[in-house]
Amino acid sequence: MTHCWVCNLGLMSYLEAQELQRRLITLRYKNIIDDILLLLEHPPTITLGRFANPANILVAQDELNRRGISIYASDRAGETAFHCPGQLVAYPIMDIKHRVGRLREYIHCLEEVALKTLMHFGIRAGRFFEHPGIWKHGKQIAAIGLLVSRGITMHGLSLNVNPNLNNFKVINLCGLPGKEATSISKLLGHDIDINDVIQCTHNTFSEVFDVDLETISMQQVIGDSYAAESTKVV
């Protein structure tokens, strides 16, 4: 079992999280830091992956502004995605160069983390073999979007815990017309505390990836990453 840090960052803007990941992926490649799992939520945000079609945004800019929904280009692969409070986002910064199966196995493991977490709450969901992610009754409950640079991962998994599902209707989910989102709370018929899902995700991630998780603070992650970059040897 290898070592991996885990940090709950709370609510963080997409741009801030993306920049933090970029710093961490460089530090991980240089072996300055260990693998690290970032857990967080985003404000209402549409992200466009490298292969996204802007036509998959279904609402005019004025309406998005009125509803406080931002749009950002993302360096991850994939199509159009939606993030908001109540959706748990997991961004592992991991060296997968020596893992068996590498990217294919890594995606399978991320999906397995979502499936096992959902099972903990009594929800039996499944993969959609035409597209990475997890679905229940034909509705998406978890999505995956990745970037792998020099064998190090960033971006990752989003799991709908208790978001406002109406907001997901502003896009074609993952570029798939007619698909809808669902959540743990919607399927169970009552609200679920996202902190309970975070703790469950700790356990399932450790089990699936065979890592020993050590919790560190947001200040340690942000402060240490800046400090390491400012003193790194090129």
Residues 117-153: b if buried by 16+ CB within 10 A, e if exposed: bbebeebebebbeebbbbbbeebbbbbbbbbbeeebb
Provide the token pair at 131: 């597209």
Q: Which of 84, 109, 174, 200 is catalytic?
A: 174
Provide the token pair at 158: 């989003």
**174 among known catalytic residues:** yes
Q: Which residues have a catalytic role annotated?
A: 174
